[in-house]
Structure 1
Amino acid sequence: MSNDPYAALGVTKTASQDEIKKAYRRIAKESHPDLNPGDPEAEARFKAAAAAFDLLKDPEKRGRFDRGEIDASGQETPERRFYREYAEGPEATYHTSRGYEDFSDVFGDLFGQRARGGRSGGMQMRGPDQYYTLEVGFLEAAKGAVRRITLPGGGTLDVKIPEGLADGQTIRLRGKGGPGLGGGPSGDALVTVSVAAHPFFRREEADILVDLPITFDEAVLGARIECPTIGGRVALTVPKGATSGQVLRLRGRGVKKGAGHGDQRVTLKIVAPPRIDPELEEFMRRWREDHRYDPRRGMGA
């Protein structure tokens, strides 16, 4: 993994959280292993970006990294461990009467003792994080689901898809990664989710967008019709004189947002009948002669 998570995402250290999020989404879409099968370089870029985003999206972790307290993998740096154990701790495991002016001796003694299984009882290391990708359906991400993935070793892992999950988000499963060393804790499994497109639903933040076809008579006379939502069909009132492009809002019919839900925005599309019969043609001809109007007036050349 890159020692510089900012470089892995292609952003500067002054980048905003929104810029970091956009950079990760761009790399995920360009280098996702599912889109680049058999390309180890793309897979490496994706894994590096996922690890970097996992670190930098957390303001507390980002601050600790910027201050040099943790490294790019999220582990405490040797200098920070030294300071915490020898300066902050009430009891120091190792100490001398002459102080610690020579830091190289201290680090050599500290890590040498631990590596040989000295007073600390042997080295313990956290297991590595493992990265996975998972494609889920649009409605699974919007409403929540449980999906099972097959691990490289043949085992399985159940992944809970939280309600309202967005495309490109990463789910962290603590303790489901690689095993630790010397009795250390296991790493985490990080599952980056790709949300498949839906035939007619789209998503914008917490709102669901859908284009809804209506007939001539429903537009002119108004109507009470059924409209699909992610939770099933609901009744929708089309006002008299509705036009194509007019947007109606169904409150609370979007995806989960905090304690509530977003809305569903319905864009009306007037659709002509598949066949214009003589009766309709004659009626429209007479109507046009008596009620002609120009909806394009004022548009200019």
Structure 2
Amino acid sequence: MEFKDYYGILGVEPDADDKAIKSAYRKLARQYHPDVSSDDDAERKFKEVSEAYHALKDPEKRAEYDRLRQYRQGGGGFEPPPGWQGFRSGAGGGGGETRFEDDGAFSDFFESIFGGGFGRRAGPRAGRDLEVEMPLFLEDTVADTRKQIRVGERTLNVTIPAGTGDNERIRLKGQGGPGADGGESGDLYLRVRLVPHPLFDVDGHDLIVTVPVAPWEAALGGKVSVPTLSGRISVTVPADSQNGRRLRLRGKGLNGKKGAGDLYAVLKVVMPDRNDERSQALWRQLAEHSGFDPRADWE
């Protein structure tokens, strides 16, 4: 079984922090998303990136992977070190089921490290269930969305209901593995994975977007244009707003079974890149007039 370099797949160093790993995943997931990429190998690369991120974002999984990686670099090869608990031998041995290739699940390498394994069938009856990852843009959750998915040699047209959230499963009855000796086919489960968005962070059904504002907009207030999943809207910035202030936009988050979440616009005060002499004079005049000391509460 081939060893996978998850750090190399994401293009980060082994000592990268969680923020760097998440940033690399967001960039690559967007780049190789099958709906937008022109790369002939985009689907495989997207799965590799997703698998690497799921292995490294979890501290326990990452520690387990790092232990095996260090053992391998020390000359131990891919075989697990003595006393290894998380490792399971690969598929195909001991009478286990043969893996359904290209079914969208993680690789044998991932399953073997983190204890996935493959269960035995009780007998030649019903076909086995399959699970396929379904990447979904946030924009696709606003209304029902039709998607094409490829399972083995089959292409299926599937409707993703509006409001479907991250990690939810959609069951397609009878679309799994074929049964044996007249048994029923198994089911196919679509595991929804929301693709990282370049603007919005997701918190449950709420969305968070950073809104840059000029110092005078924060001080004087005014109207700013804020993006939402359904288009831009005008939002009032209250006068005397502090950096980091959160403005709540009700119902502008992700749809859900119990209604839509909210969108939080977080203000980020941004200074001009450079100031001419007149602008500097105005800043000096403001400093002299205001008598404001931002560090007055330090002591």
Q: Secondary structure at the match of 2:287?
A: helix
Quote the Cα distance in structure 2 between the aligned partners of 1:206 and 1:267. Answer: 17
Q: Quick one: distance in 2 between partners of 1:28 and 1:185?
A: 35
Q: Give TM-score scaled by structure 1 length.
A: 0.59
1:49-198 equivalences under 5 Å are: 125-141=125-141, 143-153=143-153, 155-198=154-197
Distance 1:275 1:27, change over 3 A: closer
Asked if 1:30 is matched to 2:55, the reply is yes
Counterpart residue number, 1:42: 110
Deviation at 1:180, TM superposition (A): 2.5
Give 5+ residue unaligned stretches, structure 2: 1-50, 58-100
Q: Which residue of 1 aligns with 2:79?
A: none
1:231-265, Cα deviation, whole Å (9 max, x unpaired): 11111011111121001000011111324111001
The unaligned stretches of length 5 or more in structure 1 are 1-25, 52-71, 78-122
> CA separation of 1:28/1:46 partners in 2, compared to 1, >3 Å: closer, same or farther?
farther
Q: Are residues 46 and 228 of structure 1, via their aligned partners in 2, closer, same or farther at CA, if it must alter by over 3 Å?
A: farther
Q: Structure 1 residues 257, 191: closer, same or farther in 2, change over 3 A?
A: closer
Please report the RMSD computed on the Cα atoms of aligned residues, expressed in angstroms.
3.6
How big is each residue's C-alpha offset from its partner over 1:72-128, in whole Å with a ceiling of 9 and x where there is no partner?
89x9x9xxxxxxxxxxxxxxxxxxxxxxxxxxxxxxxxxxxxxxxxxxxxx983221
8 Å Cα contact 1:219-1:242 kept in structure 2: yes
Q: How many residue pairs align between the two structures?
A: 206
Query: Cα distance, 1:172 vs. partner?
Result: 1.8
Q: Which residue of 2 aligns with 1:233?
A: 232
The SS at the match of 2:285 is helix
Is the partner of 2:227 in helix, strand or coil?
strand
Q: How does 1:259-298 map to 2 (within 5 A)?
A: 259-298=258-297
- What is the alpha-carbon distance in structure 1 between the residues aligned to residue 172 and residue 115 of structure 2? 16
Q: Secondary structure at the match of 1:226?
A: strand
Letter in 2 for 1:42: F
AA partner of residue 297 (structure 2): G
Contact 2:178/2:184, CA 8 A, preserved across alignment: yes
Equivalents in 2 of 1:38, 1:186: separation in Å? 22
The alignment partner of 2:243 has SS state of: coil
Return the index of the structure with the highest Cα Rg.
1
- Mapped to 1, the partners of 2:252 and 2:232 lie a distance apart of 11
The corresponding residue for 2:218 is: 219
Contact in 2 for aligned 1:31/1:46 (Cα 8 Å) = no
CA distance in 2, matches of 1:37, 1:174: 18
- C-alpha distance after superposition, 1:118-163 (max 9, x if no partner): xxxxx9832211222232223224655222112222x201233333
